[in-house]
Amino acid sequence: MTEAPANISPPSPPVIAVTGLTKVFGDKRVVDNFDITVPKGAIYGFLGPNGSGKTTTIRMLCGLLTPNGGDGTCLGFDILSDAERIKEQVGYMTQKFSLYEDLSIRENLDFIARMYRLDNRKQRVDKALADLGLKDRAGQLAGSLSGGWKQRLALAGCLLHNPQLLLLDEPTAGVDPKARRDFWNEIRRLSGQGVTVLVSTHYMDEAVQCDFIAYIAYGKKLIDGPAAGIPAQIGLTTWKVEGPNLALLEVQLKNTPGVEQVARFGASLHVSGTNAEKLQRAIATYAADGTYRWTRDEAGLEEAFIYLMAGAHDNFAGPPEVRQ
């Protein structure tokens, strides 16, 4: 066997590697045969609509829920037999603020440090306050904080025990754009330090912040891979259309064979299909009359998401429709 050169470090094992992950509640498969591999230091996004099984998957990965099927590891620990070890090693930020609103910021962080039986509690809490910009508000009651400041406090609590994996469940839901931007700056900083981040979201401007993305809908993974390569995996060709009376054109295009998707983006339509030649023939008549300006465009994550969602079936609904 050929050995690697001495000056090249072997690749790190994945932080998460699970296959066939399944969770059943009653007669519903909330997570159905889910696979995921998350490399060390990556920001890995779970993208999907509400009710798609993202939270359930995260809870199985961090040991809070026992899968009905599947196996694998998280931080090197078996997800089935080492759940308690996993829970001690990860930082999990829930979608709903779950700290004590009648305690101050400092008191909440000190309580978390006690729960983890951390040494040098005061120094750790002081550092968390400084790192997340909470020092000047340390005495403020958590219940009086805005959504963005609650988010910072929750993240500070997740980081107290220096986890190497963060599991963030819709962490920016309900906060203003600036708070979301500040939050993502902090996530990027942590990733740069080698912390691995698995984050669920349905915001497209957050999806582009991720190194990798898994689209999940109604318990099933539809596609995953490097974020920049997802549209190419699907094979979408997209044209951007600008001009008058786009609403009427949108209706006409949706009934045109060869056009698989029409989506409104502000003052333009994005017209997409998986067969470039058929799509070009389909739009030729509309493009020839000169009423609209047609521009070939690169399909993005949002077009990919809309396309995948259109073909996904809600497992709490009736039989699926056949896609034309």
**pTM attached to this predicted model:** 0.83
pLDDT in the model for residue 208: 84
104 vs 215: CA distance, rounded Å:
38
Q: How confident is the model at residue 319 (pLDDT cuts 50, 70, 90)?
A: very low
Same fold, 16-226 and 237-298: no
10 pLDDT more than 80:
no
pLDDT value for 239: 95
Burial of 282 (0-12, 13-18, 19+ CB in 10 A): buried
* Domain spanning 237-298, CATH architecture: 2-Layer Sandwich (3.30)
Average pLDDT rounded to a whole number, residues 11-35? 92
pLDDT in tens, 98-146: 899 999 999 999 999 999 999 999 999 999 999 899 999 999 999 999 9
| Per-residue confidence (pLDDT) for residue 9, from 0 to 100 | 45
Domain ranges of the chain: 16-226, 237-298
Residues across the chain: 324
Asked if 182 contacts 172 with a C-beta cutoff of 8 angstroms, the reply is: no
Domain 16-226, CATH homologous superfamily name and number: P-loop containing nucleotide triphosphate hydrolases (3.40.50.300)
Which is more confident, 39 or 1?
39
Which three-class secondary structure state does DSSP give residue 163?
Answer: coil
Residue 136 DSSP one-character state: G
Alpha-carbon distances, residue 202 vs 207, 217, 228 (angstroms) = 8, 11, 17
- Distance from first CA to last CA of the chain, Å, rounded? 52
DSSP H stretches of helix in the chain: 54-61, 83-89, 105-115, 121-131, 147-159, 177-192, 204-207, 230-234, 246-254, 276-288, 301-311
Share of the chain above pLDDT 70, in %: 92
**Segment among 24-33, 67-76, 209-218, 315-324 with least mean pLDDT:** 315-324
Residue, of 273 and 218, whose pLDDT is higher: 273
Distance CA 64, CA 41 (A): 23
Q: Which helix (H) or strand (E) holds 38?
A: strand 28-38
Which position has the token pair 């990733």?
191
| Residue range 158-197, pLDDT digits in tens | 999 999 999 999 888 777 888 888 889 989 999 999 999 9
Decide: helix, strand or coil at residue 248. helix
Whether residue 34 is predicted with pLDDT greater than 90 in this model: the reply is yes
